[in-house]
Amino acid sequence: MAGKRFWILLSAAGLLLLDQLSKQWWLQNLQPGVSHRWIPGLLNLRLVWNDGAAFSLFRNGSLWLGWISLLVSIGLLIWIWRRGRIWSRWQAAAAALLLAGSVGNGIDRWRYGAVIDGLELVPISFPVFNLADVAINLAVLCLLIEAIRQR
């Protein structure tokens, strides 16, 4: 069981590092609000500050959203550490992804007062997002797959 915990935490740390490095690159190389073609017809890079939650809900809520990120992250760490039964691959992936996403966006809220977003889908009108957001959404997908698999 300790082996699974190690891999979950290592995976979360790696994803968190990618998230934070990408955000630092965006801050150093992009001007706010200006789109730069990255993958033509699919993805642009555009630096945006989001002081709310997903889809810009709860605008100006960075302080209390920062506390929520911190509490979720602590709760996830406790859950990962204390979990008594065996993890499935989907549950382990969900835990790592959710921890990385929660900590990644939480760091932004505490450090900058807003989350740094930089990925913009071109073919559809969709909010600009970041790797932490992708991780959180993939965690939900992993949990859904696990729930379906158990039925």
User: What pLDDT does 60 receive?
Assistant: 58
Phi, psi of 87 (to 5 degrees): -85, 140
Q: Of the listed 19, 51, 108, 133, which one is catalytic? A: 133
C-beta separation of 61 from 53 below 8 A: yes
User: How many separate domains does the chain show?
Assistant: 1
Q: What span, in angstroms and rounded, lies between the C-alpha atoms of 8 and 26? A: 27
The residue range of the domain holding 64 is 2-150
Q: Which of 19, 51, 108, 117 is catalytic?
A: 117
The pTM score is 0.88
Tokens of 86: 């065996």
Annotated catalytic residue 19: no
Helix or strand or coil: residue 26? helix
Beta bridge partners of 37: 44
Q: What is the pLDDT along the chain (151 residues), one digit of tens a residue?
A: 568 888 999 999 999 999 999 999 999 999 998 999 999 999 999 999 988 666 555 565 566 677 888 898 999 999 888 876 678 899 999 999 999 999 999 999 999 999 999 999 998 988 899 999 999 999 999 999 999 998 8
pLDDT of residue 79: 87
- Is 117 known to be catalytic? yes
